[in-house]
Chain A
Amino acid sequence: MPNGGERGPQTERRRWIAWIAWIALPLLIACAGNDPATQIERAGSWAATTRELAIERRVGAIGRAYTADLLDAGGREVQMIQQSLKPSELPESIRSRVPIAVGRLDSVIANTGSAVRRGDVVALGMAAADANALSDTLRVLRAALVGK
C-alpha cells in the first residue's frame, strides 16, 4: 500500500529549501535589474512614453485621468532612476550628461502633467517636442555606454 513512510530529517529539510528557493528567488529578483545601461534605457522609455502621452492627449485620443496618472507614475519611476544612478559607474564621456538628461526628463514629465491638468494644448505640444528630444538624447547616451 502506498505510504510515505518516514523520511530522514535531511531530505525533509532539503525539500523545504527547494520549495522556498523556487518561490522566493524569482520573487526577489522580480525587482532587480539595476545596471546603468538598463536604467538609461528605462529613462529613455519614459521619455518616449511621455511624448506619446502628450501627443495622444492633445488630440483627445486618451483619457485625462489616465494620462495624468501615468505621468505621475512615470515621474516617480524617473526619480527612482535618478536616485539610483551612480555617476562613478558611468564612463567619463557621459558622466555629467546622464544625470542632467534624467533631471530634465523629471521636469518635462512634471510640466506635461500640469499641462494635462490645465488642458493646455499648446503646452502639450511643446512638452511632446521636449520629450522627443530627451528620448533621442538618452538613446545616444545609452549607445555610448554600451558601445564602448
Chain B
Amino acid sequence: MKRILDLTLGIVTSIGGFLEAGSIITAVQAGAVFGYKLLWTIALGTLGLMLLVEQSGRLAAVTGRTVGDALRERFGINFFILPLATGLLVSFLVLASEIGGVALALQMATGISFQWWAMPVAFAGWFLLWKGTFGIVEKGSSFLGLVTIVFVVAALKLHPDWGRVGSGLLPTVPDHDGPRYWYIAVSIIGASISPYLYMFYSSGAVEDGWGTDDLNTNKATAVLGMSFGGVLSAAVLIIAALVFLPRGIQVDRYEQAGLLLPPVLGHSGFVLFLASLGIACFGATTEITLAMAYLLAQGLGWDWSENAKPKQNARFSLTYTVTILLAGVVMAAGIDPLKLTNFSMMLTAASLPVTVIPMFVLMNDEALVGEHRNRWFSNAALGALSIVTIVVLFSAVPLQILGGS
C-alpha cells in the first residue's frame, strides 16, 4: 500500500514538475512553424530523459551515491572537472531563463516589467530553499505545477486529427525550412533532457534514503512520470499547431505564447497560462539551483543536504544563495528571455555527451552497481542516446548559424 502511495506521489511530482520555460516555448515554436511534424523529437527527448532518470535513481538506490558523487569517484577529478564546469555554466543560464519565465508571467499579469520582478522572484526562491526541506521544495511546486494539465484539456478541446498527430510521432524530414526544423528539434532535445533533472533526481533519492527495495517504484515512477510529462509537452505543441499555425503566428517574443490558450478557453485560458508558466518556471528555479549546489558540494566533498538547516551546510547553503541571486541579477539586467531560453536549450543539447556517456560507464560498472547493472535493453537505448547526443553536439553550432532567429 505504501508502495502504491509512493509511486503515485512520484508520478504526480514528475508530471507537475515537467514543464518549464524551455520545454514550453520550444514546443510552441515547433507547433507554430511545423505543425505536428516535430512530435517525434518530444517523444525522443522524453524517452531519453526516462532512461537517465531511471538509471540515476537506480544508481542512488543501489550505491547510496548520487550522480555527482559517482562522477567524481569513478572518473577522478581530471574528468569530473568537465561535467562540473559545463554543468554549472549551462545550468546557470537555464536557471536565469527560468527566473525570466516567472518574471514574464508576472509581467503579463501586472504590466510591470519582468526586470523588476527578477530579484523578488530570486529572493522568493531563495527563501523557499532556505526555510524548506527537500520534500517541501520538490512536492510543493510539483503539486501546484499540476495546473499545467490545462494544456491537455485545451488540446483535447481542440479535437485534433489523432491520425495526423500520430504520424507526427514518426521522424520525418521537413519539406521547407530545413535548418530551422533541425534547430528546433535540437532545442527540444535540450529542453527535454536537462542534466539538472536527473542529477537532482539522484540527490533526492539519497535525501529520501532509497534502497534496493525501492527499485521497482523508481522504474515505474521514471517511466510513467516522464511519459505523462511528455504528454504535457506534446499537448503544448498540438495547441500551437492548431491555434498558431493556421493564423500564421510565430514566436518572436515569449509573450506571444500568452495567446495560446485564450482562443480555446477564453479568459480562464489566459489566467491559467500565466499560472502554468509562473508555477512551472518557479519550480524549475528551485530545482536547478539545488541541482547546481548539489553538483558542486558533492563533487568537492562538502556536507550537503536540503533537509538539514542551512547552518549545518554552510558552503552548500552559500552556493545556492549566491547562485540564485546572481541568476536573478542577470534577468534584472534585462536580457531577452526568449533569446536566453533558446540559447540555453541549444547549449544544454550540445553538452549532453558529457553527462550521458559517463552514465553509460557507471551503469555497467559491476563493481559499482553489482547485479543491478544495465540489461542489454537499457544499454542499447543508452548507447543510441549517446550517439544521438554526439550528433547533436556536432550539429548544434552550425544549426545556430543556419537556423537561429
Contact = CB atoms under 8 A, between A and B. Distances in A.
Interface of A: 2, 4, 21-23, 25-27, 29-33, 38, 41-42, 44-49, 51-53, 56, 59-66, 68-70, 73-74, 77, 135, 139
Given A26-B404, A30-B339, A31-B339, A70 B255 contact: yes
Contacts of B346: 26, 30
B269 interface: yes
B405 A38 contact: yes
A63 B270 contact: yes
Closest 6 CB pairs of A and B: A65-B111, A33-B405, A26-B400, A45-B250, A61-B262, A48-B248
Contacts of A29: 400-401, 404
Contact of B78 (A4, A33, A44, A52): A4
Contact of B111 (A2, A30, A66): A66
B252 to A, nearest CB: 6
Contact of B258 (A25, A68, A70): A70
Nearest to A67: B258
B139 to A, nearest CB: 31
A26 B347 contact: yes
B93 to A, nearest CB: 10
B342 A70 contact: no
Interface residues of B, number: 37
Contacts of A64: 111
Given A26-B397, A62-B270, A65-B111, A52 B249 contact: yes
Main SS class of interface, A: helix
A29 B78 CA distance: 32
Contacts of B396: 26
Contacts of B248: 44-45, 47-48, 135, 139
Contact of B252 (A2, A25, A46, A53): A46
Interface string B87-128: 001000000000000000001111100000000000000000
B76 interface: yes
